[in-house]
Amino acid sequence: MTEQQFLLALNGLRNDRQHGASALARQALLILQRSAEQATDCDEASLRLLMGQRCTQLCQIRPSMAVINGLLARWQQAVDHFHDEEGSLSTAMADQAGQLIDLSLQAVIDSARHASQLVQPGQTLITHSCSSTMMVMFEQLQDQNLAVIVTESRPLNEGVAVAHQLRRWGMDVTLITDAQMGLFAARADLAMVGADSLLADGSVVNKAGTSLLALAANYCQCPFYVLAESYKRTADLPEQLILEQMSGDELQHDFPADKTSNIYFDVTAASLISGWIDEHGVSYDGELK
């Protein structure tokens, strides 16, 4: 992977508004894997320098997505202990990235399986934004006669793609504006969302609007679950967070972009969350395992 190719891939990650944090973390690992695979002619020192720099750059790209930093830090830590035996370091680095991708995928599958056990056939579920882990759960729940209320998820409306996919899986989908979450939380049996990061105090960083769904669900006593594999945990607290702000132009209004706010994430307090679901099961006490 040349420097030019790497920068192009990095830019793709920076501008990706369709995928959730977990999918983007695996893409970041894939970029490291490709970088290592194609760096077989480097000596050890330049290989470590190149890969370390790329890892750092990937870590900085989406600061609200703890899972990217978390998995890349695990990769860095592992490869720091590798020895370069007869030029095998690049292969070992690539393998390590591949193993972490597999680990993340398995955690997603296991988390989704635990989540799917919370949903009864014929129930109505409300969700917000798009989470790859949520989509794996929905795929496992095909033919369960589910009704799903899906928010459009402004500004880029990734909820519309979710709604289409759920319809293909035979679910009874209702697409709503984000503003109708209050009306529809009252009609749902449960609310469930993915997460970009799980903070140390049990609060959750996810697409802007998630905290509104949590408030609305709590208000009408609809349980509110967060589905996120443990790799999304961070030691950060809400006050240490950097919430990504994108260009105001994404709202596509005839209004000055610098007077238009487009903060992508909000924080939902642990007190509003009924249960946290990860690859180990469901936790109900706000104490992340």
Q: Which residues are catalytic?
A: 196
Q: Which is nearer to a second copy, 153 or 234 (CB)?
A: 153
* Element (DSSP H or E) covering residue 24: helix 21-37
Residues contributing to the site for a second copy (CB under 8 A) = 151-155, 157, 160, 163-164, 167, 173-184, 207-209, 211-212, 215-216, 219, 243, 248, 251, 253-255, 259-263, 266
Least separation in angstroms between residue 260's CB and a second copy is 5
Whichever of 155 and 275 has its CB closer to a second copy, that residue is 155
Q: How far is the CB of 107 from a second copy (least distance, A)?
A: 28
Contacts 24+ apart (CB under 8 A), 30-33: 30/97, 30/101, 31/1, 31/6, 31/58, 32/58, 32/72, 32/75, 32/93, 32/94, 32/97, 33/94, 33/97, 33/98, 33/101
Q: Which residues, 6 or more positions from 178, have their beta carbon under 8 angstroms from its beta carbon?
A: 128, 151, 152, 153, 154, 209, 212
Minimum CB distance to a second copy smaller for 22 or for 153? 153
Provide, rounded to whole angstroms, the least separation between the CB of residue 148 and a second copy: 11
Give least dist CB 31 to a second copy, A.
Answer: 30
Q: Which is nearer to a second copy, 25 or 150 (CB)?
A: 150
User: Angle at Cα 183 formed by Cα 144 and Cα 114, nearest 5°?
Assistant: 35
